[in-house]
Amino acid sequence: MTLWNGSYPFYPGANACFPFDTARAVIVTVFLSVLATFIIILPGIPGRGRLFWFLRWVLGLFMGAVILNVQFTGDWETGWVQANTSYKSFSRVQVSADIGLHIGLAGVNVTLRGNPEKQINETIDYNEHFPWSFGADYDRSYSQGLQKGLPSPILYVAEKFSSQSPCAVHRQYRIAGHYASLTLWVAFCTWLISILLFSMSILLYGGHMLLLTATLILFSLLLFSTVRNTLRCPIQFGPVSLRTDYGESFWLALATGLLCLLLGLGIIILNSVQPEKLKLIFSLDKSSKEELWDKSCLPAQPSCSAQDGLMVPLGELCHRTATQL
């Protein structure tokens, strides 16, 4: 037996990864709670407007949840590679591992998973985050990783995105992430305004706000995609290289932006061509008829009084009374 049981003292054990992202969990829980509330009150909606009412709220909550959720995800751009690589500095021992790179709006996540997970008497399962959001210092996080003695593959990938790297991609990714995040926050505000306008039955302006929301979402995607046009250094692990492509958050945001665009255009076109069908979708035709019936039966109009059948002219009433006598 050797000192420190054959391991270097400045290399801590693998970090225990939290099973889920707390920010995403809170967002999903809030929106699912609102959806459950709408499902509970759904039987109280009369007639065929129940289905349209439910679809409107499901689509609206889906768009809002996606716009808010992609702010905190780290899979706007992802890539995986399986390679045999050195595990620790100053050591020739190599391990077989899956190395993943996940780029988000707020930073980079580097994943290292052993294949198999237990090798060289250790559990190889790492997921390290290096932020570049406001108030965060990427280079400081990278220096802390060096001090902790993180595995070499993680430090090698993280070094490519540092400000001192000759790849020079740190500034592009950081600026693109900041502006894309800001644009998505504005899109979330316009989505809230559109929901408010639709609830107030102001359909045309609600459609315009949906169009604005779609424009902001698509613009944020354009801002992020411009980073991929920059020249980058290859991330090489022996004969294989780590290549990235657009991740789930990017495609989900794109689908949501296109959905907002189609819904906004549909509402504006229906409002110009067939407004009655638009009112039917938003359950406004029945309420307008009831309002018209209520106005036609005001007490000021004697014909709608409940005592119409009992009212006769006073002279005729006196004449009939005298005849009976």
List, in sequence order, every residue forming a beta bridge with 82; answer none if it has no partner. 98
Domain-located, residue 140: yes
Domain-located, residue 84: yes
Q: Contact 152/128 with Cβ under 8 angstroms?
A: no
Domain around 95? 77-167
Q: What is the pLDDT of residue 303?
A: 44
Which parts of the chain register pLDDT below 50? 1-20, 287-312, 314, 317-325
Q: Please tell me the distance from the alpha carbon of residue 280 to that of residue 49, in angstroms, as a whole number.
A: 8
CA angle, residues 307, 311, 312, in degrees to nearest 5? 165
Q: SS3 letters for 123-166?
A: EEEEEEEEECCCCCCHHHHHHHHHHHCCCHHHHHHHHCCCCCCC
Q: What is the pLDDT of residue 230?
A: 60
Q: What is the pLDDT of residue 322?
A: 45
Q: What is the pLDDT of residue 231?
A: 54
Domain-located, residue 146: yes
Answer whether 0.85 is exceeded by the pTM. no
Q: Which helix (H) or strand (E) holds 110?
A: strand 107-119
Q: Using CA atoms in the order 253, 255, 256, 259, what is the torsion angle rounded to 10 degrees?
A: 160
Q: Which residue has the tokens 């592009």?
A: 172
Say how many C-beta atoms besides its own lie within 10 A of residue 313's C-beta.
8
Q: Contact 76/223 with Cβ under 8 angstroms?
A: no
Domain-located, residue 317: no
Q: Please tell me the distance from the alpha carbon of residue 235 to that of residue 156, in angstroms, as a whole number.
A: 8
Domain-located, residue 135: yes
- Strand 122-131: give its sheet, edge to edge: 122-131, 107-119, 94-103, 77-86, 245-246
The DSSP secondary-structure symbol of 95 reads E
Domain-located, residue 144: yes
Environment class of residue 13 by beta-carbon count within 10 Å: exposed (0-12), middle (13-18) or buried (19+)?
A: exposed
Q: How far is CA 90 from CA 11, 128, 149, 255, in A?
A: 12, 21, 11, 47
Q: What is the pLDDT of residue 249?
A: 93
Q: Please tell me the distance from the alpha carbon of residue 71 to that of residue 105, in angstroms, as a whole number.
A: 7
Domain-located, residue 271: no
What's the domain count of the chain? Answer: 1
